[in-house]
Amino acid sequence: MKRTRTAALTLAAAAAAVAPALGQASATAAPGTGYLQDPAGGEHEMKSLWTKDQKHKLEGQVRFHPGIQYETVSRPALPGDPRDERRVADPDTLSWMPSYEFAWAVSDVLVNKGLTTKNGKHPIVVRAVLRDARGTARAEVEQELTGQPATGRQKVAGGKRIPCDTGRYTVEWSVTRTHYGTLTGTLRWDSGCERYRTAFSGKNGPA
């Protein structure tokens, strides 16, 4: 019997992703390495644009979470373990289940461009498209978020499984504030799973 588990693992922490204990199928990601971000940098790094009349500013950011996914299988217990068997990750079942995290900030000018305020409720539309090397859209999400605060963050599930080792992908994203404008960006992602596969095989021990 197999059980599907989804783990938010990172490339930097791949070797720590598998624990031999029964039911333990994920590891804590190293800080700041669990996603790809556009623009690169810290939490407050944003792309921005002003409206033509210079009275409103929109800022935006996206984080792409690859989301490694795998199934577990039964293996004999390790020496010294009182259990008869253990559940471990099966490297042959690795795949990706991406999600997208959008952040925005909406500013309005009080007196001049140097004095702004972030207030009120706003209609925000977030969108992302995951394209393969040929430019074909493999996954797409779009949500209209009404009544949002001037600064906010929203994570959206991708809803599509992406097989391992299917090449490089491009994430095209946008954040729109109606009547203010649309921010856009792109980032690159490599779907290779070899690091996870090696880590899982090494951590799981003999069959």
User: What contacts 195, CB < 8 A, 6 or more positions away?
Assistant: 11, 14
Say what the pLDDT of residue 177 is: 96
pLDDT in 10s for each residue of the chain, 207 residues: 444 443 333 333 333 333 322 223 333 232 334 899 999 988 889 999 999 988 999 999 999 999 998 888 887 777 777 777 777 778 888 999 999 999 999 999 987 656 788 999 999 999 999 999 999 999 999 999 999 999 999 999 999 999 999 999 999 999 999 999 999 999 999 999 998 888 877 655 544
Place of tokens 């599509």: 160
Nearest to 17 by CA among 1, 4, 6, 32: 6
- Model-wide pTM > 0.85: no
Q: How many residues does the chain have?
A: 207
